[in-house]
Amino acid sequence: MKTLIILAHPDIQNSVINKRLIQEAIKEPQRFSVHDLTQVYGRGDIDVAREQELIRAHDALVLQFPLHNFSCPPILKSWIDAVMTHGFAYGCGSDGIAGRKVALAVTAGIKKSDYCPQGRYHFSLREVLTPFELAFKYYFHADYRGFFAFYGAEETPGVDYVSSQDDLERGAREYAEFLQNLGCSCDFFMIGTYENTSLDTQLKKIKSFKYKSKLYKVYYGEDKNKEKDIKFKFWNL
């Protein structure tokens, strides 16, 4: 599966987090293509036909961007408005986006604890990103796969965005896993320490991980139609 990453960052060369995330994607150019909107278009007009053909040439689409006033940067909004046209993304006979895997990759800047009803900004990040889900899942009928988020450690609103090198490297690894798992769908899973010999013989992979200080075991089955392993997406827990 080939994934197109639409990068919408105003200054990727001076970025820390988005630049590091992109470095993970370009390690596998046979699987991931990075399309930098700012580099290609700057303030120029978007070539709609070119962009639509680029999307058609890939199996999945990831929109990567830093949150800008709790939304996407202007160039990405312009790209969506220009490229997601009638007959391509919506309307009778449209086949450009319908059924195509689409996901978001967002650098939030703000601490995760601030994105909750009791937090500084009162809304979860999923709620903030609802317009993207509404458009791509329910209007364009894409196979919407949610979002990857890298949260920062903002201490002073709009001023200090601090992430340690360990946080950055961990985020890069998690992003790589997120991208790799876009082509997979969850068949079934079991959580706990329950073991069943008969069941185990039918499964291809078993993986344990910790979540909120508890040990979980996830069982993977096989997608017989796609002839590939099913992978459960940990970040959706």
Q: What does the CA dihedral 135, 185, 180, 97 come to, rounded to 10 degrees?
A: -30
CB 79 within 8 A of CB 6: yes
pLDDT in tens, 129-173: 999 999 999 999 999 999 999 887 555 555 555 667 787 888 888
pLDDT in tens, 180-226: 888 665 433 344 433 444 444 444 455 555 544 555 555 554 444 44
pLDDT in tens, 112-130: 888 888 888 898 999 999 9
The CATH code that applies to domain 3-183 is: 3.40.50.360
In the 3-class helix/strand/coil scheme, how is 112-148 assigned residue by residue? HHHCCCCCCCCCCHHHHCHHHHHHHHHHCCCEEEEEE
- Which position has the token pair 């939030």? 108
pLDDT in tens, 29-62: 889 999 999 999 987 899 999 999 999 999 999 9
Euclidean distance between CA atoms 182 and 103, whole angstroms: 8
Euclidean distance between CA atoms 140 and 100, whole angstroms: 10
Can you tell me whether residue 66 is helix, strand or coil? Answer: strand
Can you tell me whether residue 98 is helix, strand or coil? Answer: coil
Confidence at 231, pLDDT banded by 50, 70, 90 = very low
Residues in the chain: 237
- Structure confidence at residue 207 (pLDDT): 55
Handedness of CA 65, 70, 74, 79 (dihedral sign): positive
CB 105 within 8 A of CB 17: no
216 or 77, which is more confident: 77
Beta-bridge partners for 214: 211
Domain ranges of the chain: 3-183, 185-237
Predicted TM-score (pTM) of the model is 0.75
- Structure confidence at residue 195 (pLDDT): 42
DSSP secondary structure, 158-214, as one string: TT-----HHHHHHHHHHHHHHHHGGG--------SS---HHHHTT-SEEEEEEETTE
